[in-house]
Amino acid sequence: MNKLLIFLGISLLFLMIAFFPIHIFLRVLSGMLAVPFLYIVFILSYSIYQFSEFGGNYQSKIHDVIVSKVDNDSGKILDIGTGSGSLIIKLAKVFPGSSLTGIDYWGENWEYSKAQCEENAKIEGVADRIQFLKASASKLPFRDAEFDVVVSCLTFHEVKDCHNKTDVMREALRVLKPGGTFVFMDLFLDEDAFGERAVLVADLTDIVELKHEELTEVLDLPKLLLNKKVLGNAMVFHGKKTK
């Protein structure tokens, strides 16, 4: 939402300049500069609508895909990049025998907070089984092999304090028990963030039994959500830790 407001403000500024009584060249140039920002505003607005409950509810649908890949029905579950807590709350309700931890950095550029997560868990009646901690995904405050399940949704590419995203993923797998389940959904096809897919997979298969699918293989998505800046590069990595 913050990004939407920023781009909306920039596009409106250019449009206002286009109507100022200035040289026609500057007015035309300002109008032309407004076009790409208006396009970004449209994509962001459409994405927010489709992810929301009153729109396509695709955030919940993506979380359903992640939950469906978890085959442990109890134990300790870690959600990396928990955001507003919606995924971890869903996991808590589907797996009532589990204890859960959600971590996030909750930076200033996001609307989410630890307090919001705790309130959401309380509203859903699962607060007694979930703890929320502020931490970076690049350096998790947990022992090796502490969790039975580790999940993450659209988080690794956002980690700013570690350039090598494979290292961030290996850190997530460090705290997973051998034989434990992991489900990661992220923009793994974005080579600028994750490098070549074959190299990424090879870097992980020494410690995991890995399966991977493009998000479009497991979920029908509206065409505009397939924009590379939205979910066009999204994949689901899942499997078990072997050692």
Q: What is the CATH number of the domain that holds 224?
A: 3.40.50.150
Q: What is the pLDDT of residue 118?
A: 95
Tell me the mean pLDDT in the region 201-205: 91
Same domain, 222 and 176: yes
| 48-57, 94-103, 204-213: least confidently modelled range | 48-57
With CA atoms as reference, report the closest residue to 62 among 174, 240, 211, 213.
213
The contacts of residue 20 (CB under 8 Å, 6+ apart) are 27
For 100, half-sphere exposure in the C-beta direction (CA atoms, 13 angstrom radius) is 31
With CA atoms as reference, report the closest residue to 63 among 35, 32, 40, 94.
94
Q: What is the pLDDT of residue 93?
A: 95
Question: pLDDT at residue 1 above 80?
Answer: no
Residues 124 and 137: their CA atoms lie apart, in Å, by 26
Same domain, 114 and 158: yes
Domain that holds residue 161: 58-241
Q: What is the pLDDT of residue 110?
A: 66
Tell me the mean pLDDT in the region 34-58: 88
Q: Which structure tokens are listed for 172?
A: 């997530």
Same domain, 70 and 6: no
Same domain, 22 and 139: no
Q: Which residues pair with 101 in a beta bridge?
A: 78, 131
Tell me the mean pLDDT in the region 211-239: 92
Same domain, 151 and 77: yes
Q: Which structure tokens are listed for 53?
A: 């409950």
Same domain, 47 and 62: no
C-alpha distances (whole Å) from 191 to each of 41, 145, 188, 203 are 25, 29, 7, 14
Q: What is the pLDDT of residue 51?
A: 86
Tell me the mean pLDDT in the region 81-93: 95
Same domain, 36 and 124: no
With CA atoms as reference, report the closest residue to 185 among 210, 209, 151.
151
Same domain, 107 and 40: no
Same domain, 63 and 47: no
Same domain, 20 and 68: no
Question: pLDDT at residue 185 above 90?
Answer: yes
The contacts of residue 49 (CB under 8 Å, 6+ apart) are 55, 56
Tell me the mean pLDDT in the region 215-231: 90
Tell me the mean pLDDT in the region 23-40: 89
Tell me the mean pLDDT in the region 154-173: 93
Better pLDDT: 111 or 112: 112
